[in-house]
Amino acid sequence: MIFDQLERFGDNTAVIDCAEKRWSFIDLVDQSDKIADYMDSRTLMFILSKNHIQVVAAYVGALRKGVVPLLLSADIQIELLNNLVDIYKPQYIWGEKNSVELAGNIIFSNDEYQLLQTEFQPFDIHENLAVLLSTSGTTGSPKLVRQSVKNIESNTTAIINYLKLTPKDRAITTLPLYYTYGLSILQTQLVSGGSIVLTEASIFERKFWDLLIKYEVTNFGGVPYTYEMLKRLRFSRMEIPSLRFITQAGGKLSPDISADFARVCAQKGIAYITMYGASEATARMSYLPADKAEEKAGSIGIAIPGGRFELEDVEGNIVTSFGDNGELVYYGDNVTMGYAVCREDLLKGDENKGILHTGDIAFKDEDGYFYITGRKKRFLKIFGNRVSLDSVEDYLKSKGYLSCACAGVDDKLTVYSEDKIDAKEVCGLLSEYTHIHSSAFSVKFVSEIPRNNAGKILYEKLKDMKL
């Protein structure tokens, strides 16, 4: 497994934690194995995640031991957590002390964190299963992605290769670790012998930049919203000599802003790398090399080493001509085993066989660079989080809002309602449900939600409706 050899980096710095304590690779491995010693191999563990050293240690320890972890936001609503516990029946739960009241025995604890052993007996888990990730880190959806040892190894190796990571590289957290992009930054840094600064500070806080400068950070990642914040902070005027590259993923940044950053970064000697991925592909599927960042702004680039894209038309035929749209299909060893919606699914083998239909519509230019133009599936990316429009509709129905339909664009979800409902209350509810700022939601009133004869909502018409 990817973390089996971490000891070989010895006394090199692996992590600088939130208290600015330095952890060498030996320190990290010691702490990781100490936690893992209390667990049996081939069991299921929930990790209530913050950007804390104890979360990193538990994750590394679980993977070294062959325990399958599911990373969840530590801020998850207790009902949602209980629901996941009921469905998946984990043997262990790792979280901050006194953070949640759950049934079980505390079998290990340190100053900050504790390991809870539940009453659930171990059950059979597929031998290749390594990690579980939530398809939406925020809504506590029980739909999980099953990642194998091979998936993680292949993706980590490919990313290290195209970012040319070395032991000199040091990242700083800008994203949560339960989010596939944030987790991938942690994994690639550690496996390449580099290091990571852990912080819960946002880029709007002085502390973040103080850490970045003090510890000579060489890279960080951001979702489109991060880049809009960087623009407002006038990143162009900042002097950060240690910064070697920055990556952008988690949704499509407007081509204008992308081109701006490409220019600014080129002047500063920072590589600006746009990437594209999904938790269904472990983390990354493509990248736009820095030297093409300005020329090809708006493109997701080319497939990562070892991967390949094809475009498929509605009949499933391969689209070969340049500029023609088709569904983006990815082929590679990082395509995950499939989904799980219940405990029994953890015994399933590889269902995808290395092929992922992304649900994104794209075309290819004459140089072989891919551009995403639309989406087949009903979801939005809001501040980097994937939000399923159908699950939001279902949630609203469960709360008694029966005549609603949801549509919108990235970073802006609109609830269309036939009834006069309290817009502020609905936006507040959705903010609570998704853990996303309420300004991302709005309510519009319509006389009638357009439907076809079968009663299916015509979402395309909904967007064009006069209000």
* Interaction between residue 228 and other proteins (CB under 8 A): yes
Q: Does 202 bind other proteins (CB under 8 A)?
A: yes
Q: Which stretch binds other proteins (CB under 8 A): 182-190, 330-338, 402-410, 435-443?
A: 435-443
What does the alpha-carbon distance between residue 221 and residue 173 come to, in Å, rounded to a whole number? 8
Q: Residue 41, interface with other proteins (CB under 8 A)?
A: no
Structure tokens at 318: 């391969």
Q: Among 8, 234, 456, 466, which residue sits at the site for other proteins (rule: CB under 8 A)?
A: 234
78 lies in the binding site for other proteins (CB under 8 A): no
Q: Which of residues 115-174 bind other proteins (CB under 8 A)?
A: none
Binding-site member from 427, 430, 443, 462 for other proteins (CB under 8 A):
427
- 92 vs 220, beta carbon nearer other proteins: 220
Q: Which residue, 94 or 178, has its beta carbon nearer to other proteins?
A: 178
Interacting residue with other proteins among 22, 214, 412, 424 (CB under 8 A): 424
Residue 170: CB minimum distance to other proteins, A: 22
Q: Is 107 in the site for other proteins (CB under 8 A)?
A: no
Residue 239 is a binding residue for other proteins (CB under 8 A)? no
**What is the C-alpha separation between 243 and 169, in angstroms, rounded?**
9
Q: How far apart are CA 444 and CA 238, in angstroms?
A: 41
Stretch that binds other proteins, among 147-155, 221-229, 414-422, 452-460 (CB under 8 A): 221-229
Sole binder of other proteins in the list 87, 229, 257, 465 (CB under 8 A): 229
Question: Site for other proteins (CB under 8 A): which residue of 164, 353, 377, 437?
Answer: 437
Residue 177: closest CA among 210, 155, 149, 199 = 199
CB of 206 to other proteins, least distance (A): 4
Q: Between residues 309 and 441, which has the closer beta carbon with respect to other proteins?
A: 441
Residue 233 binds other proteins (CB under 8 A): yes
CB closer to other proteins, 232 vs 308: 232
Give 225 or 370: the residue with its C-beta nearer to other proteins: 225
- Residue for token pair 């009133």: 445
Return the residue of 238, 421, 446, 457 that touches other proteins, per CB under 8 A. 238
**C-beta of residue 371 within 8 angstroms of C-beta of residue 353:** no
Instruction: Give the C-alpha separation, 40 to 56, whole Å.
Output: 19
> Binding residues for other proteins, per CB under 8 A?
202-206, 209, 225, 228-229, 232-234, 237-238, 383, 424, 427, 431, 436-440
